[in-house]
Chains A and B, each alone.
Chain A
């Protein structure tokens, strides 16, 4: 089983990307995940939490053998993402270290390692780009596990031990190495996991990887300074330190590797050469950075490791490859996805099919089901007439409407906005899907581009592609699953049609 431990805001963003990939059917059968973040009110985390809730709801209703396949194990709840907070948010950092109970000699050592500002730092919004604080807090993990009042880590350890006994436990720790929480969590966590399995049988069946994000966003130093002044706070994250922090982290892991103290089976480094500008935010709910393709690459790295961990300890790197003639622009294309050649094509096809189903539902079928004539003129939609007997089998019953609304909310509030943010970099840098489809928002999609969902946008568009999809739903309906609720059966028809259309489109391409 794959366990994803998301450290900090960037870790939560990687989870967001991974959930979208799971919705598109690229995820593993089962995924255990939780977040470590001292800033539990972080806006990025909040987005991911809502997404997880919506994914679980959609999965309960719509899961089939193509999409929404991945079952989430959220450890403490059925549908709520668990956030472990390594510090008491009410305390100062010095209390985390129990500073006042230390001997004078120990206090001297603490003062050698931390400044007074750091010791006085409130722990309410995370480690604010100070990985030394986070590393100190997270090094206390074995103490947390031994604490009977905190059953969380004991449970995690037991679950991973169980995976190891059963087959193999694959654990990915994801986060940024240029901020606070992510940078501080990766190494203490892997050390903790290794040590907790050291005396167990099959300990070599614990495979651990880290997905380390290097700077891919920045904020202006003047904004950060103004923010600090406004909050009467001296200790803030500064993006001009990001590159230095990332370099230090890389040096540190390189040192571990050279000294054979490298506990990872794989380490994936992801980044971008042109960090995007984001609004400065100290933390808390206003901190909502837009999604970035580096997080998508990070999520794909998690999947890559979950699918087939490398046989030898290795470091992998990913970032956009240069394209002939576009060296200065460095766009992101399907070829930049860090997957094997065959796997990449399959993944591309799967994402395309899900995207097609999403656009078709959101831009077409949703409106058909809202039409009052659906019940009285059901013969206008043959598969509906044949396979849905009305009453509780209707797509217009209250229950069905509620279920279809769950799908609409996921597409409209999570899926399309996320892709829109991924594609929002200047100069069309991200060249995966066609952003013209959602240019008027997720509720006004351009269905005349159903046959042009991948980049680039063609010049001429006709609505015949809608007709082809409609005809395909009629064709595949008799072979589609008749299990589950009416919306689930509809979704099965829609996704089968989408998969077949994408396969047809791929076959029709020159060279195939």
Chain B
């Protein structure tokens, strides 16, 4: 399955049956994609609402922190959900033995926990990156008065050159 490429780095742990592992990934990658898509969608929608609700009332508000971007932190929740689901499926089907040897260069003994942590970081980062790209690339999500705020570093050079 093509989507498996998203989790190709998730190598088969020792002690797992290759076919079982492959089947597991087929199912899990769909779950993974759904969670990531849902998280991205929620992040972007909440961001758009929040950006529209943001008001400039006083001169200092012009330069105040751009709080709608905090919705990117929703990616942490997305990553957490992915990690928990992985842990749940993996333990329920017993794909990875609890005494499986270390994976991905980790010293940890518990391969499932290590995979879960990596998945948490990976899916969280993926959600944040996708959300940010969408927010930055689609002008509709950001009101005109804040159009440069989602990616200030892209505009800082001009500002610094002043």
Q: Which residues of A contact B (CB under 8 A)?
A: 364-365, 367-368, 371, 373-382, 385, 389-391, 394, 463-464, 466-467, 470-471, 474-475
Contacts and interface: CB of A to CB of B under 8 A. Distances in A.
B58 A463 contact: yes
Interface in B90-134: none
B159 A377 contact: yes
Contacts of B58: 364, 463, 466
A385 to B, nearest CB: 6
29 contacts: A364-B59, A365-B59, A371-B59, A371-B60, A371-B62, A373-B63, A375-B162, A376-B156, A376-B162, A377-B152, A378-B155, A379-B149, A379-B155, A379-B156, A380-B149, A381-B62, A382-B145, A382-B148, A385-B155, A385-B159, A463-B57, A464-B55, A464-B57, A466-B55, A467-B55, A467-B56, A467-B57, A470-B56, A474-B145
Contacts of B143: 471
B2 interface: no
Contacts of A394: 162
Given A376-B159, A379-B159, A391-B162, A385 B148 contact: yes
Interface string B43-63: 000000000000111111011
Given A463-B55, A467-B56, A470-B145, A378 B162 contact: yes
Contacts of B156: 376, 379
B23 to A, nearest CB: 49
B161 interface: yes
B160 to A, nearest CB: 7
A371 B63 CA distance: 9
B63 A377 contact: yes
A370 to B, nearest CB: 8
Contacts of A367: 59
Contacts of B55: 463-464, 466-467
B67 to A, nearest CB: 13
Dominant secondary structure at the A interface: helix
Contacts of B152: 377, 379
Contacts of A376: 156, 159-160, 162
7 closest A-B pairs by beta carbon, nearest first, are A390-B162, A379-B148, A463-B57, A367-B59, A379-B155, A467-B55, A470-B56
Contacts of A365: 59
B14 interface: no
* Most chain B beta carbons < 10 A, residue from A368, A379, A463: A379
Contacts of B161: 390
Contacts of B57: 463-464, 466-467
Contacts of A374: 63
B147 interface: yes
Nearest to B154: A379
A466 B56 contact: yes
Contacts of B159: 375-379, 385, 390
Given A377-B63, A467-B57, 5 more contacts: A378-B158, A378-B159, A380-B148, A389-B162, A466-B56
A377 B152 CA distance: 8
A380 B144 CA distance: 11
B62 A380 contact: yes
A319 B60 CA distance: 45
Contacts of A471: 143-145
A368 B62 contact: yes
Contacts of A375: 159, 162
A375 B162 CA distance: 7
Identify which of A375, A377, A394, A463 gathers the most chain B CB atoms within 10 Å of its CB: A377
A391 B162 CA distance: 6
A390 to B, nearest CB: 3
A391 to B, nearest CB: 7
Contacts of A470: 56, 62, 145
Most buried by A among B55, B56, B158: B56
A368 B61 CA distance: 9
B59 to A, nearest CB: 4
Contacts of A466: 55-58
Contacts of A378: 155, 158-159, 162
Contacts of B144: 382, 471, 474-475
Nearest to A391: B162
Contacts of B59: 364-365, 367-368, 371
A467 B58 CA distance: 9
Contacts of B148: 379-380, 382, 385
A376 B143 CA distance: 21
Given A463-B55, A464-B55, A470-B56, A382 B162 contact: no
Contacts of B149: 379-380
Interface in B60-89: 60, 62-63
- Which of A373, A377, A380, A470 has the most chain B CB atoms inside 10 A of its CB? A380
A32 to B, nearest CB: 41
A385 B144 CA distance: 13
Given A463-B58, A470-B56, A380 B158 contact: no
Nearest to B66: A380
Nearest to A466: B57
Contacts of B147: 382
A371 B156 CA distance: 17
B65 to A, nearest CB: 11
A85 to B, nearest CB: 47
Contacts of B155: 378-379, 385
A380 B162 contact: no
A191 to B, nearest CB: 57
A442 B159 CA distance: 33
Interface string B11-40: 000000000000000000000000000000
Most buried by A among B145, B147, B155: B145
B104 to A, nearest CB: 40
Contacts of A467: 55-57
B53 to A, nearest CB: 10
A475 B144 CA distance: 8
A379 B150 CA distance: 10
A378 B154 CA distance: 12
A24 B19 CA distance: 81
